[in-house]
Structure 1
Amino acid sequence: MPTTEAVRPGRAQWGALILFAGASGAVDVLAFTALGRVFAGVMTGNLVLLGLSLTGTGHEGGPAMPLLALGGYVAGVAAVAPFARHRPGEPETRWPRAVVRSLAVEVLLLAAVAVGWGAADGAPAEPWPDVVLVAIAAAMGIQSAALAGAGAAGGPGTYFTGILTQVVAHAVGPPGERRADLGNLARLISLTGGAAVGALVHSASAPWAMTVPLVLASAALACVAVPPRPRRPTPAPATPSGDMP
């Protein structure tokens, strides 16, 4: 049975987690600013917006947009959750092949969205914005379910309140147990940076905005798609010929 330390993310996996956080931030800011003031990956926020819309005094689009985002996300999770897990014989220190394949599907979905978004000059006519919202929400559902399936070597893919709590708790823990959770702190910074870059690109050139999450997610996938090379065994020191027993 592998220890907890044995299945913590390695360097390539940390790189992927940080880049996927950036992709999540970019997708959410584009969904919020360009697709109806809802989120593609933060379902807690969408449930709050749905509740607000049901009062008739809040969300300007009514319940339709939060429901579309929720539906897309649920569909993405349901599509990969039964498969994204370790299989017998797979090393615990790497993400399962099914997880990597699921993340590749996410990248393909984001690529299709980026192509369509660019072809529409960043302003698709109705009903295509609704289709785009469902598609990117499904991509975030795939990302979340896949990273959850990676186990201790993965982690949350689109929801970061728990990560923020963990970073603070580790920083202010009992004396002797305090530590800087640099990996998760980097994920929070990447989330914010991805959102900022997505917003800036959308403001400067809307047709290219959807390439931001695509590039980040593609780079993340590249980190874990190729298994690391096994280390060469250190050769044993040669025995002097005169020392034979």
Structure 2
Amino acid sequence: MTTTRGHGPLPHLLLVLTAATGVVDAVSILGLGRVFVANMTGNVVFVGFAIAGVPGFSLAASAAALLGFLVGSFLAGRAVGLAGGHRGRLLAGCAAAEVVLLAVALLLVSLSSGTPVLVGAAALLACAMGGQNAVVRALGVPDLTTTVLTMTLTGIAADVRGGDRAQAVRRLLAVLSMFGGAVVGALVVLHAALAWALLLALLLVLVVAVAAALAARGTAAWHHA
């Protein structure tokens, strides 16, 4: 399912990132004031709700997340060019940058729960997700966007007859990874603390960073697919 299409370990690592995204979304929506940091479609809608005066939606948090996502995407786009087309190093660098951003966000929410801190944490998390989105886009692994499942679910339903079985399994695994991350993240936020959920997301991304760095060593066909 994963090694016959020239992508090496990338599909496995991207599934871990997908699970981490589910955890991060649980943190942002449940703990940072109804704001998406990975799904900008939903976040743009939340900005509209906030401007319309709907209770419970923070314009500051949503706008900060939108700006952070754009900044992260921009910086990652520049990094794609600097990586020289080496997909292993690109993913390792992206995951390492995400670890730093998640660590700073974790430090912020551990020190205070005030509105400015939560807005700052939302911006940092969105920056991490924007960078992840841009890098995953450059990696070009089919059906594993790690942040958005709309087209994945569309593909599952639209190609149910006559579709590639391995492709269907990859799509289903992506959905289950996001679902699992969201469930676990929500449980941790509700029954433990916001910081613990952020720590879980950080550890998942750290695993990807280390694994990608190790896989990037030497020469392999998938490095420059």
| TM surpasses 0.5 | yes
Task: Tell me whether 1:171 sits opposite 2:160 in the alignment.
Answer: yes
The alpha carbon displacement at 1:191 in A equals 0.4
Who is 2:184 aligned against?
Answer: 197
The alpha carbon displacement at 1:63 in A equals 2.7
* Counterpart-to-counterpart distance in 2, 1:229 and 1:84: 18
For the aligned residues, what is the CA RMSD?
2.6
The alpha carbon displacement at 1:152 in A equals 3.7
Larger helix proportion of the pair:
2
* Counterpart-to-counterpart distance in 2, 1:29 and 1:111: 17
1:2-58 deviation digits (Å, cap 9, x = unpaired): xxx975432x211111110011111111100111111110100011122223323x2
* Counterpart-to-counterpart distance in 2, 1:87 and 1:7: 22
Aligned length: 215
* Counterpart-to-counterpart distance in 2, 1:34 and 1:28: 9
The alpha carbon displacement at 1:203 in A equals 1.8
Give the counterpart letter for 2:202 in structure 1. L
The alpha carbon displacement at 1:189 in A equals 0.5
* Counterpart-to-counterpart distance in 1, 2:58 and 2:154: 32
Please list every run of 5 or more consecutive structure 2 residues that lacks an aligned counterpart in the other structure. Answer: 220-225
Who is 2:78 aligned against?
Answer: 82
TM-score by length of 2: 0.83
* Counterpart-to-counterpart distance in 2, 1:183 and 1:9: 13
Identity of aligned residues (%): 29
Please list every run of 5 or more consecutive structure 1 residues that lacks an aligned counterpart in the other structure. Answer: 232-245
- Out of 93, 97, 100, which is 1:101 matched to? 93
Task: Tell me whether 1:140 sits opposite 2:126 in the alignment.
Answer: no
* Counterpart-to-counterpart distance in 1, 2:126 and 2:207: 20
Q: 1:87 to 1:40 in 2, by over 3 A?
A: closer
The alpha carbon displacement at 1:153 in A equals 6.8
CA contact (8 A) 2:22 2:182 kept: yes
Who is 1:211 aligned against?
Answer: 199
Give the counterpart letter for 1:52 in structure 2. F
TM-score by length of 1: 0.77
